[in-house]
Structure 1
Amino acid sequence: MRSLGTIFHLGDESGVLRTSIAITMLIAAFGIGFGLLSGSFSILFDGAYSLIDAGMSLLALAVVRLIHSYTHITSATRRLRERFTFGFWHLEPMALGLNGVLLIGVSAYAFFNAVSLILDGGRPLAFDLAILYAVITLSACTIAAALEMRANRRIRSDFIALDARAWIMSASITLALLLAFCIGAAIEGTAYGWVAPYVDPAVLALVCLIIIPLPVRTVKQALADILLVTPPELKAHVDAVAHDAVRTHGFLSFRAYVAKVGRAQQIELYFIVPADGPARRIGEWDALRDEIGNAIGPDNPDRWLTIIFTADLEWAE
């Protein structure tokens, strides 16, 4: 049985995501409970938002484990490799895209509910409980974001980067809630007390307007990965390496096909060689592949590189 230190180890991607999920679940339960007690729709939304975020983090963790199992061959994962010969990298942009779309959808729904509450005359709120919730949650979100950003300096995971941004987003939301609750508590019982019922839905509407555009970039990148849109920088680099190989080894031309799928790079290079060129041993062709592969970049489990030599252009197109 693994210890808690192993399960929540911040030195690897899975451990960081597990830690994030645990904190998120606690905040979600805390938010939903305090939202019901204080009568705050914005706190209730914050808790529900955290619950969805936890669900997406669980999905991300599952995808990470699948990718890791594919790139690290063991007897337990050999069967998976036989059934999914192209790996699981394609699941990463799907999960990221789904996460972004869900967060946008939930925020849009909450915005319309907030507008409806404002039109209905607002909502009374227990500001003391709301302020207590905001202070505790803001501290938790800030700590979680700092831990993930620090861990991701070494891990460099898109999932952790997205999750860290989500924590920063949550901290910003909670800070806005805290300020609004403090203002509401200050004006309650004064000549401006009539404004107090509008504080909760108004700040919720404002927060939603800020949140809705934030995942758009992630969704856009995920869609590009799903559609196998060619990354310009990677394509330019591969083309430069291929041009050098053509010039150095006397090939006729080349065709390069490049895509980024989540963390993975998929590269196919076809070199058109003269049909009447000098014969080479298989080992020499393999040495050429190694040379070109090293020029493209260091080998790693998340790079799918195919290099083919042919005299028939049709094989390359």
Structure 2
Amino acid sequence: MNNEKQLLKFSVYGALFFALLAIIWGVIENSKIILFDGIYSLISVGLSLISLFTASFMAKQDFDRFPYGKEMIEPIIILGKFLVITILCLFAFFSGVSTLLSGGQEVNAGSGLAYAFIATVGCYLVHIFLVKKQKVNGSGLVEAESQQWLMDTFLSLAVLLGFLLSLGLGYTKYSHLMPYMDPLMVIVVSGYFLKVPITNMGLQIREVLDMKADTKYLDLCQEIVAEIEKEYQFQESFLRVSKSGPKLFIEIDFVVSPEGWQPNLNEQDNIREEILSKMKPISLKKWLNVAFTNDRKWAV
């Protein structure tokens, strides 16, 4: 968990650096697209600080108030983060439309190109670093941070391509279109990136509503339960799997035939141990509950 906090702190400092760089550069060059990039990064700083606070809060044990753990807090926080990003993209989109309709604005394409190159390379390096660390750490909060940096990378890349196009227009008979390039970039980039937070919000809503887990977890659990049911000749089985942040909740009910083999307590524990052992490929924390009954009504 300490490693998670260090990664979140690194993300905060990185976002703060790029936010200040973009805002100062955007104000000096009077560029809405660079300002949009800077404001996005600045909001990322606030969101990263919330993630850091959340990680610290989740690390503290509080069984009395949170008997099932604090993992549910994670998807709620991530949902909030992507909601804020959605609002930012919508605001930038309509701001770009307004500027475009009012005649655009002059921007130094060469200076903008220099900023966009620095931002693109820098954001991508941070994203790669967080992705590598997240694979080891397994933190949903760090994964959300890496997604934010990936969005910022593509945003900066789009700005880079836009300024390249704008610079190219200056050497053609269409140079009069250059003032429209900056607001047009804002419209295209913010409109395109709306799909990223919206898609991720859908995933987090599934976790908050305790809906069934992703197939990559569900399929393995179904395979394991089917094997156990066949191996011990149970009459029937019922499986429920849901994901909440870094924890996977798994409930399995086996209906034991009254005429068949009746496992005692030690044998039941051995079966639970066997199931848990087969679930090792799943890296998430597991809340495993395995029950046995002769009466189907307790399993449905």
| Superposition TM-score tier, normalisation by shorter sequence | 0.7 to 0.9
Work out whether 1:33 is the aligned partner of 2:15.
Answer: no
**Which deviates more, 37-46 or 210-219?**
210-219
1:238 corresponds in structure 2 to 221
2:83 corresponds in structure 1 to 101
Name the CA distance, whole Å, in 2 between partners of 1:166 and 1:222: 15
**Residue type matched to 2:104 in 1?**
G
1:253 corresponds in structure 2 to 236
**Which deviates more, 145-154 or 35-44?**
145-154
Q: Secondary structure at the match of 2:195?
A: coil
Please give the residue correspondences for 1:156-195 in structure 2 after superposition, counting only pairs within 5 Å.
Answer: 156-185=138-167, 187=169, 192-195=174-177
> Once the 2 structures are TM-superposed, how far is the Cα of residue 267 of structure 1 from its aligned partner?
0.6
Deviations 1:174-199 (A, max 9, x none): 23323333444565598544222212
Q: Secondary structure at the match of 2:107?
A: coil
> Once the 2 structures are TM-superposed, how far is the Cα of residue 297 of structure 1 from its aligned partner?
3.5
Q: Secondary structure at the match of 1:271?
A: strand
Name the CA distance, whole Å, in 1 between partners of 2:72 and 2:131: 25
**Which deviates more, 155-164 or 274-283?**
274-283
Residues 43 and 281 (structure 1), Cα distance of their counterparts in 2 relative to 1, 3 Å cut? same
2:69 corresponds in structure 1 to 87
Equivalent residues, number: 298
Give the TM-score, by structure 1 length. Answer: 0.82
1:269 to 242, 252, 257: 252
**Which deviates more, 134-143 or 32-41?**
134-143
Work out whether 1:154 is the aligned partner of 2:129.
Answer: no
Give the TM-score, by structure 2 length. Answer: 0.86
> Once the 2 structures are TM-superposed, how far is the Cα of residue 299 of structure 1 from its aligned partner?
8.5
1:258 and 1:265 in contact (8 A); partners too: yes
Name the CA distance, whole Å, in 1 between partners of 2:152 and 2:34: 11
Q: CA RMSD in A?
A: 2.7
Identity across matched positions, percent: 26
1:31 and 1:44 in contact (8 A); partners too: yes
Q: Secondary structure at the match of 2:63?
A: helix
Q: Secondary structure at the match of 1:124?
A: coil
Residues 276 and 194 (structure 1), Cα distance of their counterparts in 2 relative to 1, 3 Å cut? same
Deviations 1:241-287 (A, max 9, x none): 23333333343222221112222211111122245766665333322
1:196 corresponds in structure 2 to 178
**Which deviates more, 188-197 or 17-26?**
188-197
Consecutive unaligned residues in structure 1, runs of 5 or more:
1-6, 70-76
**Residue type matched to 1:114 in 2?**
G
Name the CA distance, whole Å, in 1 between partners of 2:172 and 2:259: 94
Q: Secondary structure at the match of 1:81?
A: coil
